[in-house]
Structure 1
């Protein structure tokens, strides 16, 4: 007995869905890195911590986490500055490294979700 099956490929919808899932995953991943870095950012008045942002360029599928104060880069790079307990230089670089696997899992989860 011969069985037949008909398959309709809706490639445009799949591509659109995966793109949206990837963008959503990038946004959530960037927000995760921002939250982890906020725990480490040097704090005196909280201005540097409040200046942190996470942005996503959905067309290019790129994400950025940044701190925007005149002294953000200096605070990040000066290893000799003394900070409160738990606060440190490299407050963004360290989470970008330590949280890379978590961000990958966040993006993968959103991609899987978009394919349902």
Structure 2
């Protein structure tokens, strides 16, 4: 008499692709989180700069980016001598990055865990 039998089918390529897609989704969610935080600091005159904020993702390189697309976005971001309304500041994107690292990592990890179910 033989014991119980089990069969295992390994779909390594499919699993790898699912994990890659999950990590990319997580990176995009992380970028959207950083964008949300930075919008709270963007100097406002007419709101054009704030509205120009966007996220993008490069799935092939597994990177995500946050950008502001106005001709003056870089100048406003870098000019530490400019005066802005209370709560609004230069370095509006750079200032939120250190404090958002844990959340971004958690967002990526959650997407990867979901893909492994």
TM-score (norm 2): 0.93
Report the Cα distance in structure 1 between the residues aligned to 2:28 and 2:116, rounded to whole angstroms. Answer: 18
Give the C-alpha shift of residue 92 in structure 1: 0.3
Deviates more, 1:5-14 or 1:43-52: 5-14
SS at match of 2:17: helix
Give the C-alpha shift of residue 80 in structure 1: 1.3
1:1-116 paired onto structure 2 within 5 Å: 4-116=5-117
Report the Cα distance in structure 2 between the residues aligned to 1:18 and 1:112, rounded to whole angstroms. Answer: 9
Give structure 1 regions of 4+ aligned residues with deviation exceeding 4 angstroms.
1-4
In the TM superposition, what whole-angstrom CA distance separates every residue of 1:43-100 from its partner, at most 9, and x where no partner exists?
0100100111100011111111011111111111111111111111110001122101
Report the Cα distance in structure 2 between the residues aligned to 1:25 and 1:97, rounded to whole angstroms. Answer: 18
TM-score (norm 1): 0.94
Equivalent pairs, count: 116
SS at match of 2:56: strand
Which runs of 5 or more residues in structure 2 are unaligned?
none
Which runs of 5 or more residues in structure 1 are unaligned?
none
Give the C-alpha shift of residue 3 in structure 1: 5.2
Task: Report the aligned-residue RMSD.
Answer: 1.3
Deviates more, 1:63-72 or 1:2-11: 2-11
Give the C-alpha shift of residue 4 in structure 1: 4.2
Report the Cα distance in structure 2 between the residues aligned to 1:38 and 1:58, rounded to whole angstroms. Answer: 24
